[in-house]
Structure 1
Amino acid sequence: MFIGRENELKFLNDAYSSDHAEFIVLYGRRRVGKTELLNEFCKDKTCIFYTCREYTDKKQLQSFTDKIHTYNIPAFQYVDCFSNWETAFSSVLHIQTNEKKLLVIDEFPYACKVNESIPSVLQVLWDEKLRYENVMIILCGSAMSFIEKELLAEKNPLYGRTTGIYKMKPMPYTDAIKFFPNFSDEDKLLAYSILGGVPHYLRQFSDRLSLEENVKRNILRKGCSLYNEVEFLLKQELRETSVYNTIVEAIALGNNSFSDILSKTQLEKSKLSVYLKNLIEISIVEKESPALSSDKDKSNTTKGNYILTDNFFRFWYAFAYRNLTDLENDDVDGVWDDAIKGNLHDFASQPFEKVCLEYLYILNKGNRLPFRIHNASRYWGKTTQTIDGKMQSVNLEIDILAPDSKKKNFIYGECKFTNEAFDMQQLKKLQSKVFLEGNVYFYLFSLSGFTGAVKEYASLHGNTVLVSVKDIVSLG
C-alpha cells in the first residue's frame, strides 16, 4: 500500500497534465522512496521506465534497448541495440499514446558515471527536438552531491533546461505514523523517533508486534535488513567511513556544537568542517541555529549545533553501535534491557520537539494559530533578566520559539515526552524564560497530559494552549 507523498504526486501530475514539454529532475537520499513514488505516479500512464545499473556504457545501452523491447514499440522491434544514446532517448517519441509521452530514467547518475557525455547528448536532444514535443522526461537519482554539484551546476550542459527540480525529503511524522495504525499514540511517536520518515525503514516494523519486539527483531538482530543499513549507506555515499562513524557517533551522543565534536573526535578543525559539510550534503546531518539568528550566524560553520536529521542513524549510534560486540554475540535482550529500555523516552524527547514544531507549522498552514509564525526553531543562548531585583546574564534554552515575521508576536513552546503530567512548576519555569517584548503565547506539549492546576490555568488564560499526544497524532 502506497502511503503519503500527496505533494510530490501533485507536483508530478501537474507537470504531466501541462500543455508543454516537461523536463523534471527528482532526487533525494537513498531509501527516501523515490522509486516507489515514480512507480505510483506511472501506474496509470503509458511510459518507458528504465532503471540504470552500475554497468559499462555498452552494457547500459544494451540493457536500455532490452527494456524498450518489452514495450512492443513497432519502430524498434528489429533493433538489436541502439547505436547511441541520442537514438535511445529519442525512443520516447515513439510511445503509442494520446497522452504525454513519458520517459523515466531512475538512478541516472550510474549512466553518467561511465559516460560523461550523456548529459550533453540529452541537452542537444532537448534543445533541438524534445522541448517541442508533448513529452515528459524524468531523471531520478540518489547521488545528491553529483546531481547538485554536477548535473544541475551552472557549467553542466543540462543547466537551465529543466522545467522542474524536486528534492525529496523524508516523510513528515503525519505520514510516517500511518505505517502503524494499530500502535498506541505513544508507540507511534516512539516508532517515529526510532525510524524517522524514511519509508524503507518504516516498512520493517509491524504493528502486529510490540515496539520492543520490533526493535529486537528488525534492528538489533544480526542479519535483519536494518542491522547493516547504516554501514551500507555510508559506504555507498562516502569514503573514510571510520572517520564518519566517529563523527556521527559523537553527534548522536549529544556533542552538538562544533567545538564539542572537535574535542570528542580529535580531528583537525579544517578537516572536520569538510566532513560535516559532506554529511549535510547527504542529509544525515543538519546545522541548527537558534531562533532569531542572523543570516551571518547561520552561515558560520563554528556557530550553531549539528544534529542528526535521520532518526534511525541517531538510534543506531546511540544504542546499537556502542554495543556491537554484544549484538554480534546475539545478546539482543541484554542490549535492550541495559541500554535501551530505560533510556528510550529520553532519547525520543529530541525527535518529539521536532514533531511539535512540525505540528505548529501544520496549524500555521491552516491559519489555526494566533498569528503566522516565521522561522520557528529551538532557542539557546545568553540573555539578560531581572532576578531578585538585579540584572543578571542567564543561559536560556527554549524548546520552541516561534516569532512572527515582524518579531512582535511570539510562541514559547515546551515539549515533555515523559511519564509525568505537565505541572504548574514547569509552566512557571517556561514563563520565566520570556525575554522578548511583544504578545506572548505559551504552547505546552505533553505525552502524559496535564495536571488539574495547569488545565484550570489554561482555561482562564487564552494565551496558554495545551496540546496532547492525541492532538498531535490526530493530524496524521
Structure 2
Amino acid sequence: MDKPAEMFDRDFEWSALTRFITDEQPGATLGVVSGRRRQGKTFLLDAACRAAGGFYFGATEAAGAESLRRISAALTEHSRPASAYHFADWAEVVDALLALGGERPVPVVIDEFPYLVKAAPELPSILQEALRPLRRQRTESRTRLLLCGSALSFMGRLLSGSAPLRGRAGLELVVRPLDHRMAAEFWNITDPRLALQVHAVVGGTPAYRREFARGDTPKGPGDFDDWVVRTVLNPETPLFREARYLLAEEPELRDTALYLSVLAAVADGNATRGGMAGYLERKATDIAHPINVLEDAGLLHRDADVFRDNRPTYRIAEPLIGFYHAIMRPVWDQLERPGSATRVWRASGRRFVSNVLGPHFEQVCRDWALHHADPELFGGLPARVGHGVVHDPAARTGHEVDVAVVGVAEGSGKPPLLAIGEAKWNDTMGAAHIERLAHIRDLITRSGRYDTGRTRLLCFSGAGFNSRAAQAAAADPAGVHLIDLPALYART
C-alpha cells in the first residue's frame, strides 16, 4: 500500500498496518489500534481502507438500535447487495464483516469501538466467538478486522487479563504523539529553542497545528509570545478549551472536579502522592483511585525514582493539559474576556518557565537519552532513563538528578549507571555544575546500588555553557559531555 503523500511521518504505523492488512494467509485476523485523541488515528485507518479497498465505520455515542441501523446502512452502501442489510443483532454484523474478506485480504475498521461496547457490552464476547480458530466463517475469511479507540483505559483492558479478546489479536498498535524532533519538523520550526517552547505548550499532537491552529506557526523566536496569545490563549480558537474537553471525553473520569484538582496539584509542582494529598487537603489514600484512573487514561505518567524504591513521582503526560493547569486555569475568568490574553501572558512568564518549560525540558532530555542519543555517548545501551534524588548523609540533604541513564546488568552483578545529568533551561552552565555531578556520583558509589565505574556526567542546557565548562569537557572528553539544544534536535 502506498502511503498518502499528505500524511506526515507515521512510517512505522503505516508499515505495521500494511503488513497486517496485506497478509495473504487464510483466516480472519484481529488488530487493535489505540492512542490519545487528535493523533491522526482516523486519518491513518481511513487512508489504509482507501488504499486497500476496505470498509471503514466510525461509531458514535448512540443507543444499540441506532448503531445497528447506521452500520447496516454503511455496509449496504459499501457492498451494494441485492437487498439492503437490516441487522437484528451484532452477531449478524460480525458475520457480514467477515464475509467481506472471502476472496482477498480486506481491511475492516471499526473506529471509536468503545462507543459500540458501551451500548452493547456483549460485543467483545461476540467477536471472541466469531474469531474462534476452527469456526468456518473465520477460516474461510481473510478479513483484517481493526478495532480503534481513544479511550486508553478501555482499549488497554481489551486484550488484558481475562478479557474475551485476549489472545485473539495479531496486531496491537499504539499511535503516539510526535516526539520533539518530529514535532519541530511538522510545525516547520528550524530554531531549536523556539521548537522546544512550542512543544512545551502543544506537545506532538498533529491536529493542534492543522485543525486547531489552522496552520498558524510562530514566524520566528520573536513571535512566540504573540503566537501563544493568538492561539492557545485566544477564546475564539479550539485550542483554548481543548484541555478541558480532553478530560470531559474520557469515559472513566466521572468526578471531573477531583481529577482536575489532582492535575492542578501536579502542575503546581506537587509530584508525589503526599504532595498531591497536601495540596488537596486529603489523605493520600483518598486520591489513590483518581491517580490510577488518570494513569489508565494516559493523562498522568508515573516515574519511578531511580535511586529510591517506592518513591514515585508523577507528571502530566499531555503538555497542553499541563500548560492549561499552570497558566490558564488559575485565571480562567480573565482569559474568557476578550483582549485579556496579552496582559495575562505577560504576567505569567516566570510561572511558564518554572512550572512548564523547565520540567518539560528535563523530560525531553530524558527522552532524548533513551530514544535518540548514540549509545556510544554513554558507553552502552540504556535499559532505562529516569530521574531521582540521591541522599547525602553528611549534609543531611538530597540531591536531585534530572537524568539518570541505567544500563543492562550482566549476570548477577549490579546494573551499571551509565550516566547522570543535570538539565537547566535558562542557566548558562559552568564547572560548578560538573563538580556537583561528580559529588553526586561519589555518593551513589558509596551507596553500592549501582556500578559507577564508567558513569559519565551530562550537562544539558538551553542557554549554553561558559568557558570553564568547555575546558572541563575538553579535559575529559569521554567522561563529561555538554549537550545543547541543537544537539537535542540533531538527526542521528
Q: Normalising by structure 2, report the TM-score.
A: 0.86
Name the structure 2 match of 1:387.
Answer: none
Taking a change above 3 Å as real, the CA distance of residues 99 and 217 of structure 1, as seen in their structure-2 partners, is farther
Name the structure 1 match of 2:231.
Answer: 218
Q: Deviations over 1:390-435 (max 9, x none)?
A: x4543111111112222334211121211x4322222222222212
Partner of residue 385 from structure 2, selected from 369, 372, 376:
376
After superposition, residues 2-401 of structure 1 pair within 5 angstroms as 2-20=7-25, 21-71=28-78, 73-74=79-80, 76-95=81-100, 99-127=104-132, 128=135, 129-149=137-157, 151-203=158-210, 204-205=212-213, 206-207=216-217, 209=219, 210-237=223-250, 238-294=253-309, 297=310, 303-330=311-338, 331-339=340-348, 341-346=349-354, 347-363=356-372, 369-384=378-393, 391-401=394-404
Q: Deviations over 1:435-457 (max 9, x none)?
A: 22421211222222222232232
Taking a change above 3 Å as real, the CA distance of residues 324 and 78 of structure 1, as seen in their structure-2 partners, is same
Partner of residue 431 from structure 2, selected from 424, 428, 439:
424
Taking a change above 3 Å as real, the CA distance of residues 215 and 117 of structure 1, as seen in their structure-2 partners, is same
User: Is the contact between residue 23 and residue 163 of structure 1 (CA under 8 Å) also seen in structure 2?
Assistant: yes
State the shift of 1:353 in Å.
1.2
User: Is the contact between residue 76 and residue 85 of structure 2 (CA under 8 Å) also seen in structure 1?
Assistant: no
Task: Tell me how many residue pairs correspond in the alignment.
Answer: 458
With 248-257 and 462-471 compared, the bigger mean Cα shift is at: 462-471
User: Is the contact between residue 375 and residue 381 of structure 2 (CA under 8 Å) also seen in structure 1?
Assistant: no
Kindly provide the amino acid, as one letter, of the partner of residue 276 in structure 1: I
Q: Secondary structure at the match of 1:256?
A: coil
Q: Secondary structure at the match of 2:30?
A: strand
Q: Secondary structure at the match of 1:219?
A: coil
Instruction: Quote the Cα distance in structure 2 between the aligned partners of 1:183 and 1:47.
Output: 39
Taking a change above 3 Å as real, the CA distance of residues 268 and 368 of structure 1, as seen in their structure-2 partners, is closer
User: Is the contact between residue 49 and residue 55 of structure 2 (CA under 8 Å) also seen in structure 1?
Assistant: no
Q: Deviations over 1:321-355 (max 9, x none)?
A: 0111211222111111111x344333311111111
State the shift of 1:30 in Å.
2.5
Find runs of 4+ consecutive structure 1 residues off by over 6 angstroms. none
Kindly provide the amino acid, as one letter, of the partner of residue 231 in structure 1: R
Gaps of 5+ in 2: 1-5, 410-414, 446-451
Q: Deviations over 1:170-221 (max 9, x none)?
A: 3322222222224521110011111122222344442254322321122111
Q: Secondary structure at the match of 2:163?
A: coil
Kindly provide the amino acid, as one letter, of the partner of residue 408 in structure 2: S
Q: Secondary structure at the match of 1:375?
A: strand
Give me the identity figure in percent. 21
Instruction: Quote the Cα distance in structure 2 between the aligned partners of 1:325 and 1:310.
Output: 23
Instruction: Quote the Cα distance in structure 2 between the aligned partners of 1:441 and 1:153.
Output: 40
Instruction: Quote the Cα distance in structure 2 between the aligned partners of 1:395 and 1:452.
Output: 28
User: Is the contact between residue 402 and residue 410 of structure 1 (CA under 8 Å) also seen in structure 2?
Assistant: yes
State the shift of 1:94 in Å.
4.8
User: Is the contact between residue 62 and residue 82 of structure 1 (CA under 8 Å) also seen in structure 2?
Assistant: yes
Instruction: Quote the Cα distance in structure 1 between the aligned partners of 2:256 and 2:395.
Output: 46
Name the structure 2 match of 1:413.
Answer: 421
User: Is the contact between residue 93 and residue 101 of structure 1 (CA under 8 Å) also seen in structure 2?
Assistant: no
Instruction: Quote the Cα distance in structure 2 between the aligned partners of 1:364 and 1:214.
Output: 31
Name the structure 2 match of 1:388.
Answer: none
Instruction: Quote the Cα distance in structure 1 between the aligned partners of 2:418 and 2:437.
Output: 13
State the shift of 1:252 in Å.
0.3
State the shift of 1:131 in Å.
4.8
Q: Secondary structure at the match of 1:160?
A: coil
Kindly provide the amino acid, as one letter, of the partner of residue 199 in structure 2: Y
Instruction: Quote the Cα distance in structure 2 between the aligned partners of 1:467 and 1:46.
Output: 48
User: Is the contact between residue 326 and residue 352 of structure 2 (CA under 8 Å) also seen in structure 1?
Assistant: no
Q: Secondary structure at the match of 2:384?
A: coil
Name the structure 1 match of 2:412.
Answer: none
Instruction: Quote the Cα distance in structure 2 between the aligned partners of 1:235 and 1:362.
Output: 32
2:469 counterpart of 1:454: yes
State the shift of 1:77 in Å.
4.2
Instruction: Quote the Cα distance in structure 1 between the aligned partners of 2:159 and 2:277.
Output: 33
Q: Secondary structure at the match of 1:438?
A: coil
Kindly provide the amino acid, as one letter, of the partner of residue 336 in structure 1: W
Question: What's the Cα RMSD here?
Answer: 2.4
Kindly provide the amino acid, as one letter, of the partner of residue 138 in structure 1: L
With 55-64 and 209-218 compared, the bigger mean Cα shift is at: 209-218
Instruction: Quote the Cα distance in structure 1 between the aligned partners of 2:430 and 2:47.
Output: 47
Kindly provide the amino acid, as one letter, of the partner of residue 354 in structure 1: Q
Instruction: Quote the Cα distance in structure 2 between the aligned partners of 1:461 and 1:408.
Output: 20
Q: Secondary structure at the match of 2:301?
A: strand
Kindly provide the amino acid, as one letter, of the partner of residue 15 in structure 2: K
